[in-house]
Structure 1
Amino acid sequence: MKIAILSACVGLALPAAAAFAQPQEAPQPRNTPGLPSQLAAIDDVLTGGLLNDPTTLAWDGYGSDMTREMVTDESYPGGGAALRIVQGTAGPVYDSGINIPILAPIEEGERVTIGFFARAIDTDAPAGTAMVGVRFQQNREPYPGFGDRTVTIGPDWNFYEVSAVADRDIRRDAIVALQFGLQRQTLEIGQAIVVSGVSTIVN
Protein backbone atom coordinates (compact mmCIF):
# COMPACT_ATOMS: atom_id res chain seq x y z
CA MET A 1 0.00 0.00 0.00
CA LYS A 2 1.26 3.47 -0.87
CA ILE A 3 0.79 6.23 1.67
CA ALA A 4 0.93 9.97 1.35
CA ILE A 5 4.15 11.71 2.26
CA LEU A 6 2.98 14.33 4.73
CA SER A 7 4.59 16.55 7.36
CA ALA A 8 7.33 14.03 8.09
CA CYS A 9 9.46 15.48 5.32
CA VAL A 10 8.90 19.17 5.88
CA GLY A 11 9.18 19.74 9.62
CA LEU A 12 7.12 17.84 12.17
CA ALA A 13 5.01 19.44 14.86
CA LEU A 14 5.57 16.88 17.60
CA PRO A 15 4.19 16.66 21.14
CA ALA A 16 7.63 15.79 22.49
CA ALA A 17 11.21 15.57 21.32
CA ALA A 18 11.90 12.60 19.08
CA ALA A 19 13.41 9.69 20.97
CA PHE A 20 17.11 8.92 20.67
CA ALA A 21 17.87 11.79 18.30
CA GLN A 22 21.57 12.57 18.44
CA PRO A 23 22.99 16.01 19.32
CA GLN A 24 22.55 18.55 16.55
CA GLU A 25 25.22 18.62 13.86
CA ALA A 26 25.75 21.16 11.11
CA PRO A 27 23.31 20.16 8.32
CA GLN A 28 24.92 18.59 5.28
CA PRO A 29 22.42 18.90 2.42
CA ARG A 30 22.74 15.97 0.08
CA ASN A 31 20.79 13.89 -2.41
CA THR A 32 20.96 10.16 -3.01
CA PRO A 33 21.94 9.31 -6.61
CA GLY A 34 19.81 6.94 -8.64
CA LEU A 35 16.48 7.22 -6.84
CA PRO A 36 13.25 6.82 -8.84
CA SER A 37 11.76 10.17 -9.84
CA GLN A 38 8.92 9.98 -7.31
CA LEU A 39 11.42 9.47 -4.48
CA ALA A 40 13.87 12.07 -5.81
CA ALA A 41 11.16 14.68 -5.29
CA ILE A 42 10.94 13.67 -1.62
CA ASP A 43 14.73 13.63 -1.36
CA ASP A 44 14.79 17.25 -2.53
CA VAL A 45 12.91 18.46 0.56
CA LEU A 46 15.06 16.53 3.04
CA THR A 47 18.35 17.84 4.39
CA GLY A 48 19.80 14.33 4.48
CA GLY A 49 19.94 11.92 1.58
CA LEU A 50 16.84 9.70 1.34
CA LEU A 51 17.68 6.00 1.70
CA ASN A 52 14.27 4.28 1.64
CA ASP A 53 10.80 4.51 0.13
CA PRO A 54 8.71 6.32 2.78
CA THR A 55 5.49 5.92 0.78
CA THR A 56 5.12 2.19 1.48
CA LEU A 57 4.59 -0.08 4.46
CA ALA A 58 5.08 -3.24 2.36
CA TRP A 59 8.04 -4.47 4.38
CA ASP A 60 9.22 -8.06 4.81
CA GLY A 61 8.49 -9.52 8.24
CA TYR A 62 9.56 -12.61 10.17
CA GLY A 63 8.84 -14.41 13.42
CA SER A 64 6.72 -17.47 14.17
CA ASP A 65 4.92 -15.75 17.05
CA MET A 66 4.30 -12.41 15.35
CA THR A 67 1.33 -11.35 13.24
CA ARG A 68 0.82 -8.09 11.39
CA GLU A 69 -1.97 -6.38 9.54
CA MET A 70 -2.45 -3.10 7.72
CA VAL A 71 -4.79 -0.64 9.41
CA THR A 72 -5.95 2.67 7.97
CA ASP A 73 -7.33 5.74 9.70
CA GLU A 74 -7.22 9.31 8.42
CA SER A 75 -6.18 10.47 11.88
CA TYR A 76 -2.94 8.46 11.78
CA PRO A 77 0.11 10.69 11.27
CA GLY A 78 2.34 10.39 8.24
CA GLY A 79 -0.19 9.13 5.73
CA GLY A 80 -3.19 7.58 7.49
CA ALA A 81 -1.91 3.99 7.63
CA ALA A 82 0.11 1.74 9.92
CA LEU A 83 1.16 -1.86 10.48
CA ARG A 84 -0.39 -3.37 13.61
CA ILE A 85 2.17 -5.76 15.10
CA VAL A 86 1.13 -8.46 17.58
CA GLN A 87 4.01 -10.24 19.33
CA GLY A 88 2.68 -13.21 21.32
CA THR A 89 5.56 -14.11 23.63
CA ALA A 90 8.73 -12.63 25.13
CA GLY A 91 12.21 -13.72 24.07
CA PRO A 92 15.30 -12.35 22.34
CA VAL A 93 14.65 -9.05 20.60
CA TYR A 94 15.47 -10.55 17.19
CA ASP A 95 12.80 -13.29 17.44
CA SER A 96 10.49 -11.18 15.26
CA GLY A 97 10.70 -8.05 13.21
CA ILE A 98 10.19 -6.13 10.00
CA ASN A 99 12.90 -5.11 7.54
CA ILE A 100 12.93 -1.72 5.84
CA PRO A 101 15.02 -1.89 2.63
CA ILE A 102 17.82 0.63 2.08
CA LEU A 103 18.08 1.76 -1.54
CA ALA A 104 21.75 2.81 -1.62
CA PRO A 105 25.07 1.57 -0.21
CA ILE A 106 26.10 2.60 3.30
CA GLU A 107 29.72 3.65 3.71
CA GLU A 108 31.87 3.29 6.81
CA GLY A 109 31.88 6.58 8.73
CA GLU A 110 28.55 7.70 7.27
CA ARG A 111 25.78 8.80 9.63
CA VAL A 112 22.45 7.06 9.06
CA THR A 113 19.18 8.03 10.76
CA ILE A 114 15.74 6.44 10.84
CA GLY A 115 12.58 8.15 12.01
CA PHE A 116 9.25 6.36 12.33
CA PHE A 117 5.79 6.93 13.75
CA ALA A 118 4.67 4.44 16.39
CA ARG A 119 2.37 3.88 19.34
CA ALA A 120 1.80 1.10 21.88
CA ILE A 121 -1.63 -0.56 22.00
CA ASP A 122 -1.35 -3.37 24.59
CA THR A 123 1.77 -4.69 26.33
CA ASP A 124 3.04 -6.57 29.38
CA ALA A 125 4.92 -3.50 30.61
CA PRO A 126 3.38 -1.88 33.74
CA ALA A 127 3.44 1.50 32.01
CA GLY A 128 1.84 0.08 28.88
CA THR A 129 4.89 0.85 26.76
CA ALA A 130 6.15 -1.16 23.80
CA MET A 131 9.80 -1.99 23.11
CA VAL A 132 11.31 -1.89 19.63
CA GLY A 133 14.86 -2.90 18.78
CA VAL A 134 16.39 -0.85 15.97
CA ARG A 135 19.42 -2.03 14.00
CA PHE A 136 21.09 -1.00 10.74
CA GLN A 137 22.39 -4.18 9.11
CA GLN A 138 23.02 -6.33 6.08
CA ASN A 139 20.17 -8.73 5.38
CA ARG A 140 22.23 -11.85 4.79
CA GLU A 141 24.33 -14.11 6.98
CA PRO A 142 26.08 -13.40 9.28
CA TYR A 143 23.87 -10.26 9.44
CA PRO A 144 26.57 -7.72 10.35
CA GLY A 145 25.25 -4.39 11.58
CA PHE A 146 25.59 -1.38 13.84
CA GLY A 147 23.65 1.19 15.84
CA ASP A 148 21.67 -1.23 18.01
CA ARG A 149 19.14 0.60 20.20
CA THR A 150 16.01 -0.31 22.13
CA VAL A 151 13.32 2.35 21.82
CA THR A 152 10.49 2.63 24.35
CA ILE A 153 7.21 3.42 22.60
CA GLY A 154 4.41 5.24 24.43
CA PRO A 155 0.64 4.88 23.99
CA ASP A 156 0.26 8.08 21.95
CA TRP A 157 1.48 8.56 18.41
CA ASN A 158 4.97 10.01 18.31
CA PHE A 159 7.90 10.19 15.91
CA TYR A 160 10.94 8.23 17.13
CA GLU A 161 14.46 8.62 15.78
CA VAL A 162 17.61 6.52 16.02
CA SER A 163 20.89 7.72 14.54
CA ALA A 164 24.27 6.00 14.28
CA VAL A 165 27.59 6.23 12.46
CA ALA A 166 28.36 3.18 10.32
CA ASP A 167 31.35 1.19 11.52
CA ARG A 168 31.47 -0.79 8.27
CA ASP A 169 30.56 -0.64 4.59
CA ILE A 170 27.28 -2.29 3.58
CA ARG A 171 27.35 -2.27 -0.21
CA ARG A 172 24.36 -4.54 -0.83
CA ASP A 173 21.24 -5.80 0.94
CA ALA A 174 21.21 -3.08 3.60
CA ILE A 175 18.11 -2.77 5.79
CA VAL A 176 16.89 -1.18 8.97
CA ALA A 177 15.53 -3.93 11.21
CA LEU A 178 12.72 -3.07 13.64
CA GLN A 179 12.54 -5.95 16.13
CA PHE A 180 9.74 -6.81 18.58
CA GLY A 181 10.68 -9.99 20.45
CA LEU A 182 11.47 -8.58 23.91
CA GLN A 183 7.95 -8.79 25.32
CA ARG A 184 4.36 -9.70 24.57
CA GLN A 185 3.00 -6.60 22.93
CA THR A 186 0.71 -5.04 20.36
CA LEU A 187 1.85 -1.85 18.69
CA GLU A 188 1.46 0.10 15.49
CA ILE A 189 4.31 1.24 13.23
CA GLY A 190 3.56 3.99 10.74
CA GLN A 191 5.52 5.84 8.10
CA ALA A 192 9.30 5.44 8.29
CA ILE A 193 12.00 7.64 6.75
CA VAL A 194 15.69 6.73 6.53
CA VAL A 195 18.32 9.31 5.60
CA SER A 196 22.09 9.70 5.47
CA GLY A 197 24.31 12.58 6.51
CA VAL A 198 22.23 14.12 9.33
CA SER A 199 21.41 13.14 12.91
CA THR A 200 17.73 14.10 12.85
CA ILE A 201 14.90 14.18 10.33
CA VAL A 202 12.62 16.37 12.44
CA ASN A 203 14.68 19.46 11.60
Structure 2
Amino acid sequence: MNAWKTAFACLLVAAPVAVPAQDDILNKIINKAGSTAVHGATAKSRHDEGVQGGKALRVDSPGKPNPWDIALSTEIDKPVKAGDTLVLAFWARLEKGPDGATTVSLPYNAVQLAAAPYTPVVKDAVTVGPTWELHQVTGKADKDYAPGQINATLHLAGAKQVVDIGPVFVLDMGQ
Protein backbone atom coordinates (compact mmCIF):
# COMPACT_ATOMS: atom_id res chain seq x y z
CA MET A 1 0.00 0.00 0.00
CA ASN A 2 2.84 2.39 0.85
CA ALA A 3 4.45 1.85 -2.59
CA TRP A 4 1.10 2.65 -4.23
CA LYS A 5 0.85 5.95 -2.29
CA THR A 6 4.40 6.86 -3.29
CA ALA A 7 3.68 6.13 -6.96
CA PHE A 8 0.47 8.19 -6.81
CA ALA A 9 2.31 11.12 -5.19
CA CYS A 10 4.94 10.99 -7.96
CA LEU A 11 2.21 11.08 -10.60
CA LEU A 12 0.64 14.13 -8.96
CA VAL A 13 3.96 15.96 -8.91
CA ALA A 14 4.73 15.04 -12.53
CA ALA A 15 1.24 15.79 -13.87
CA PRO A 16 1.18 18.68 -16.32
CA VAL A 17 -0.59 21.79 -15.16
CA ALA A 18 -2.64 23.73 -17.69
CA VAL A 19 -1.56 27.38 -17.83
CA PRO A 20 -3.68 29.85 -19.74
CA ALA A 21 -1.81 31.28 -22.76
CA GLN A 22 -2.17 34.86 -21.51
CA ASP A 23 -0.19 33.93 -18.38
CA ASP A 24 2.70 32.30 -20.26
CA ILE A 25 5.83 34.46 -19.81
CA LEU A 26 7.28 32.97 -23.00
CA ASN A 27 4.58 34.80 -24.96
CA LYS A 28 6.03 38.10 -23.72
CA ILE A 29 9.52 37.55 -25.21
CA ILE A 30 10.03 39.97 -28.11
CA ASN A 31 13.66 39.41 -29.08
CA LYS A 32 14.52 37.01 -31.87
CA ALA A 33 15.66 33.63 -30.57
CA GLY A 34 19.22 32.86 -31.61
CA SER A 35 19.95 36.38 -32.83
CA THR A 36 22.56 37.21 -30.18
CA ALA A 37 25.72 38.61 -31.80
CA VAL A 38 28.94 40.07 -30.42
CA HIS A 39 30.56 42.98 -32.26
CA GLY A 40 34.18 44.08 -31.80
CA ALA A 41 35.46 40.82 -30.29
CA THR A 42 35.27 37.09 -30.77
CA ALA A 43 32.94 35.40 -28.32
CA LYS A 44 33.42 31.75 -27.46
CA SER A 45 30.39 29.57 -26.83
CA ARG A 46 30.90 27.41 -23.78
CA HIS A 47 29.02 24.82 -21.76
CA ASP A 48 28.31 25.94 -18.18
CA GLU A 49 25.92 24.03 -15.90
CA GLY A 50 25.83 27.04 -13.56
CA VAL A 51 23.71 29.17 -15.88
CA GLN A 52 20.10 28.77 -16.97
CA GLY A 53 20.12 26.72 -20.19
CA GLY A 54 23.68 25.45 -19.66
CA LYS A 55 25.33 27.61 -22.37
CA ALA A 56 27.14 30.94 -22.26
CA LEU A 57 29.19 33.27 -24.43
CA ARG A 58 32.62 34.18 -23.06
CA VAL A 59 33.70 37.67 -24.14
CA ASP A 60 37.34 38.62 -23.57
CA SER A 61 37.79 42.39 -23.63
CA PRO A 62 41.31 43.82 -23.87
CA GLY A 63 39.93 47.11 -22.54
CA LYS A 64 39.15 49.47 -25.38
CA PRO A 65 38.72 53.26 -25.33
CA ASN A 66 34.90 53.14 -25.51
CA PRO A 67 32.57 50.72 -23.68
CA TRP A 68 30.60 50.25 -26.94
CA ASP A 69 33.70 49.06 -28.85
CA ILE A 70 32.65 45.54 -27.80
CA ALA A 71 28.91 44.97 -27.62
CA LEU A 72 26.48 42.09 -27.51
CA SER A 73 23.18 42.67 -29.29
CA THR A 74 19.95 40.85 -29.99
CA GLU A 75 17.23 41.73 -32.50
CA ILE A 76 13.71 42.64 -31.41
CA ASP A 77 11.34 41.25 -34.03
CA LYS A 78 7.96 42.18 -32.54
CA PRO A 79 6.22 45.56 -32.34
CA VAL A 80 6.22 47.63 -29.14
CA LYS A 81 3.51 50.14 -28.18
CA ALA A 82 4.00 53.45 -26.38
CA GLY A 83 3.69 52.93 -22.62
CA ASP A 84 4.57 49.22 -22.69
CA THR A 85 6.85 48.07 -19.88
CA LEU A 86 10.01 46.57 -21.34
CA VAL A 87 12.33 44.27 -19.40
CA LEU A 88 15.84 43.46 -20.62
CA ALA A 89 16.87 40.38 -18.62
CA PHE A 90 20.21 38.64 -18.95
CA TRP A 91 22.45 36.23 -17.07
CA ALA A 92 26.04 37.39 -16.52
CA ARG A 93 29.11 36.62 -14.46
CA LEU A 94 32.66 37.95 -14.26
CA GLU A 95 35.26 35.34 -15.11
CA LYS A 96 38.26 37.68 -14.76
CA GLY A 97 38.25 41.30 -13.64
CA PRO A 98 40.79 44.05 -14.29
CA ASP A 99 43.73 43.88 -11.87
CA GLY A 100 42.08 41.05 -9.92
CA ALA A 101 38.79 42.90 -9.31
CA THR A 102 35.90 40.64 -8.28
CA THR A 103 33.19 42.92 -9.69
CA VAL A 104 32.89 45.19 -12.72
CA SER A 105 30.31 47.65 -13.93
CA LEU A 106 28.69 47.08 -17.29
CA PRO A 107 27.77 50.74 -17.79
CA TYR A 108 25.26 50.45 -20.63
CA ASN A 109 22.64 47.73 -20.94
CA ALA A 110 19.77 48.94 -23.05
CA VAL A 111 16.89 48.56 -25.40
CA GLN A 112 17.75 51.17 -28.02
CA LEU A 113 17.24 52.24 -31.60
CA ALA A 114 18.77 49.61 -33.90
CA ALA A 115 20.39 52.30 -36.10
CA ALA A 116 22.13 55.64 -35.54
CA PRO A 117 21.73 57.63 -33.36
CA TYR A 118 21.10 54.49 -31.19
CA THR A 119 18.93 56.45 -28.75
CA PRO A 120 18.11 54.36 -25.66
CA VAL A 121 14.49 53.52 -24.87
CA VAL A 122 15.40 51.76 -21.59
CA LYS A 123 18.91 51.67 -20.07
CA ASP A 124 20.85 51.13 -16.87
CA ALA A 125 24.22 50.01 -15.53
CA VAL A 126 24.67 46.71 -13.70
CA THR A 127 27.42 45.32 -11.48
CA VAL A 128 28.60 41.84 -12.40
CA GLY A 129 30.39 39.53 -9.95
CA PRO A 130 31.95 36.05 -10.07
CA THR A 131 28.69 34.09 -9.70
CA TRP A 132 25.89 33.80 -12.20
CA GLU A 133 23.20 36.39 -11.59
CA LEU A 134 20.08 37.41 -13.49
CA HIS A 135 20.19 41.16 -14.19
CA GLN A 136 17.19 43.26 -15.22
CA VAL A 137 16.80 46.67 -16.79
CA THR A 138 13.20 47.91 -16.85
CA GLY A 139 11.40 50.93 -18.24
CA LYS A 140 8.54 52.15 -20.43
CA ALA A 141 8.54 52.60 -24.19
CA ASP A 142 8.25 56.28 -25.08
CA LYS A 143 6.47 55.62 -28.39
CA ASP A 144 5.45 52.86 -30.80
CA TYR A 145 8.26 50.86 -32.42
CA ALA A 146 7.97 48.58 -35.45
CA PRO A 147 9.65 45.15 -35.54
CA GLY A 148 13.40 45.62 -36.14
CA GLN A 149 13.38 49.31 -35.20
CA ILE A 150 14.88 48.63 -31.75
CA ASN A 151 17.29 46.06 -30.35
CA ALA A 152 18.92 45.20 -27.04
CA THR A 153 22.61 45.72 -26.36
CA LEU A 154 25.18 45.22 -23.60
CA HIS A 155 28.43 47.24 -23.77
CA LEU A 156 31.36 45.07 -22.67
CA ALA A 157 34.62 46.95 -23.47
CA GLY A 158 34.80 49.15 -20.36
CA ALA A 159 37.91 47.44 -18.96
CA LYS A 160 40.33 44.56 -19.49
CA GLN A 161 37.99 41.79 -18.39
CA VAL A 162 36.46 38.44 -19.26
CA VAL A 163 32.66 38.33 -18.94
CA ASP A 164 30.34 35.36 -19.47
CA ILE A 165 26.87 36.14 -20.81
CA GLY A 166 24.09 33.58 -20.60
CA PRO A 167 20.58 33.83 -22.03
CA VAL A 168 19.38 37.32 -22.99
CA PHE A 169 15.65 38.08 -23.12
CA VAL A 170 13.60 41.17 -23.87
CA LEU A 171 10.06 41.00 -22.54
CA ASP A 172 7.13 43.27 -23.33
CA MET A 173 4.95 43.19 -20.22
CA GLY A 174 2.30 45.43 -21.81
CA GLN A 175 0.68 48.50 -20.31
- TM-score of the superposed pair, with normalisation by structure 1: 0.67
Question: Take 2:83 and 2:164, find their aligned partners in 1: how far apart are those partners?
Answer: 32
Match of 1:152 among 127, 130, 155: 127
Q: Does 1:46 align with 2:25?
A: yes
Task: Name the structure 2 match of 1:25.
Answer: none
Write the letter of the residue equivalent to 1:92: N
Q: Does 1:62 align with 2:36?
A: no
C-alpha contact 1:131 1:183 (8 A) present in aligned 2: no
Runs of 5+ unmatched residues, structure 2? 1-19
Higher helix share: 2
Secondary structure of the residue that 1:94 maps to in structure 2? helix
> How far is 1:118 from its partner?
1.0
- Alpha-carbon distance, 1:53 to partner: 4.3
Distance change (3 Å), C-alpha of 1:47 and 1:61: closer
Task: For residues 59-96 of structure 1, give each alpha carbon's deviation from its aligned partner in whole angstroms, at most 9, with x where no partner exists.
Answer: 22212xx33110013x2321110000111114322221
CA deviation vs aligned residue, 1:133-186 (integer Å, no higher than 9, x gap)? 201112112222222211110101111111111123321422111111221110
Residue 75 of structure 2: aligned partner: 101
- The TM-score, its normalising length taken from structure 2, stands at 0.76
Question: Structure 1 residues 99, 196: CA separation in 2 closer, same or farther (over 3 Å shift)?
Answer: same
Provide the aligned C-alpha RMSD in A. 2.5
In our comparison, the structure showing a higher alpha carbon Rg is 2
Q: Which runs of 5+ in 1 are unaligned?
A: 1-28, 32-43, 199-203
Task: Give yes or no for contact 2:88–2:110 (8 Å, CA) kept in 1.
Answer: no
The 5 Å alignment of 1:81-160 reads 81-124=55-98, 127-132=101-106, 133-160=108-135
